[in-house]
């Protein structure tokens, strides 16, 4: 699941000036994707590294990967030049896009001490979820680039195989989870992710292996579900935790999660964040990817 960049590829990438990207609506422009692919494919051992990445994300039992780009981040800094390379790697997986019309392709996830602790840039435990769970077409992949880990040592990433967790549930719970009885959050002004889905079933039923397990453990607290449906969802949350893996992202690590396979979250950050200057706090950059229709995302 951790993919190192071969030395000769690293050396070539440090010398490679990729052009600024262009967007076509919410999506990375085709011309940019072609330019990046053309430049990167010429670098030694790029093709095999990209193939290893795709394999980790789509093989049976797979569904997430961490590309270790720390040496590149050190050599180039974490500004535009580095972001273009990371965007180039992402392009080998699927099409980068931004569902939020007013935000750039890469969205900052910093640390805000006054925010809901369980949310994106909060300081607390961020329970298992998929991103944009209440859209009819959530991003196939969510990706997180670590610019700075938590200086107080918290914030491990947590991941769990959603289909494996579902398979451990009783048939009765699975029947409940397949009913359109769940809802979560608000939805407005989003591009490239379909329509609002409300209420939705957690289990799609259409494709056992590649269908979304449309789940967020956050709806257990917030959404006021009926008792039987809530109980089934709580069981699923428990199985996700039972099957979880966790690891700390280092500076330059790029986590890619196949949302049709794995759900993700984050352990609480170290306590005392208010004593850390904002500029020194944990910083991730997030980007979403859309797999071409019909591909085995």
How far is the C-alpha of 59 from the C-alpha of 177, rounded, in Å?
26
How far is the C-alpha of 219 from the C-alpha of 217, rounded, in Å?
5
**DSSP conformational letter for 1:** -
120 binds ligand AKG (CB under 6 A): yes
253 binds Fe ion (CB under 5 A): no
181 contacts 290 by C-beta, under 8 angstroms: no
Write down the least CB distance from residue 142 to ligand AKG, Å: 7
Interacting partner of 157 out of ligand AKG, Fe ion, none (Cβ under 5 to 8 A depending on kind): ligand AKG
99 contacts 139 by C-beta, under 8 angstroms: yes
Residue 111 token pair: 């640390």
Which one, of 180, 171, 164, lies nearest residue 214 by Cα?
180
140 binds Fe ion (CB under 5 A): no
Give the nearer residue to ligand AKG in terms of CB position, either 124 or 238: 124
Give the nearer residue to ligand AKG in terms of CB position, either 176 or 284: 284
Interacting residues of 248 by C-beta distance below 8 A, sequence separation 6+: 149, 155, 156, 157
71 binds ligand AKG (CB under 6 A): no
Interacting partner of 266 out of Fe ion, ligand AKG, none (Cβ under 5 to 8 A depending on kind): ligand AKG
Write down the least CB distance from residue 56 to Fe ion, Å: 19
84 binds ligand AKG (CB under 6 A): no
92 binds ligand AKG (CB under 6 A): no
Write down the least CB distance from residue 120 to ligand AKG, Å: 3
Measuring CA to CA, how many Å separate 152 from each of 46, 79, 269?
35, 24, 7
Write down the least CB distance from residue 256 to ligand AKG, Å: 13
**DSSP conformational letter for 193:** S
Interface residue with Fe ion among 10, 92, 131, 239 (CB under 5 A) is 131
Helices 30-41 and 80-91: crossing angle, nearest 10°?
Answer: 90
Dihedral (CA of 214, 216, 221, 223) sign: negative
Write down the least CB distance from residue 94 to ligand AKG, Å: 18
Write down the least CB distance from residue 236 to ligand AKG, Å: 18
Write down the least CB distance from residue 152 to ligand AKG, Å: 14
- Residues within window 255-274 making contact with ligand AKG, judged by CB under 6 A: 264, 266
Interacting residues of 283 by C-beta distance below 8 A, sequence separation 6+: 108, 109, 110, 111, 146, 147, 148
Which residues of the chain form contacts with Fe ion (CB under 5 A)? 131
Q: Applying CB under 6 A, which residues contact ligand AKG?
A: 109, 120, 126, 131, 144, 157, 264, 266, 284
């Amino acid at each position: 699941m951790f993919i190192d960049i071969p030395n000769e590829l690293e050396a070539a990438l440090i010398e490679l000036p990729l052009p600024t990207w262009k967007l076509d609506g919410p999506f990375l422009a085709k011309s940019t994707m072609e330019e990046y692919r053309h430049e990167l494919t010429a670098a030694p051992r790029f093709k095999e590294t990209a193939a290893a990445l795709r394999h980790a994300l789509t093989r049976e039992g797979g569904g997430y990967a961490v590309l270790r780009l720390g040496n590149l981040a050190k050599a180039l800094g974490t500004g535009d030049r580095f972001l273009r390379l990371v965007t180039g790697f992402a392009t080998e997986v699927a099409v980068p896009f931004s569902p939020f019309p007013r935000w750039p392709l890469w969205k900052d996830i910093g640390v805000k001490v006054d925010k809901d602790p369980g949310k994106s840039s909060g300081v607390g435990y961020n329970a298992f979820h998929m991103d944009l769970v209440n859209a009819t077409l959530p991003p196939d992949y969510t990706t997180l680039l670590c610019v700075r880990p938590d200086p107080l040592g918290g914030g491990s990433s947590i991941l769990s195989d959603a289909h494996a967790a579902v398979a451990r549930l009783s048939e009765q719970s699975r029947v409940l989870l397949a009913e359109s009885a769940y809802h979560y959050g608000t939805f407005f002004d989003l591009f490239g992710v379909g329509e609002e889905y409300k209420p939705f079933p957690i289990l799609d039923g259409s494709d056992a292996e590649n269908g979304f397990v449309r789940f967020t453990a956050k709806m257990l607290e917030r959404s006021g579900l009926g008792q039987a449906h809530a109980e089934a969802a709580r069981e699923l949350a428990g199985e996700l935790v039972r099957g979880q893996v966790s690891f700390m992202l280092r500076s330059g690590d790029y986590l890619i999660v196949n949302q049709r396979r794995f759900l993700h979250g984050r352990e609480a950050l170290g306590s005392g964040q208010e004593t850390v200057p904002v500029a020194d706090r944990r910083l991730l950059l997030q980007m979403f990817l859309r797999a071409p229709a019909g591909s085995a995302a």
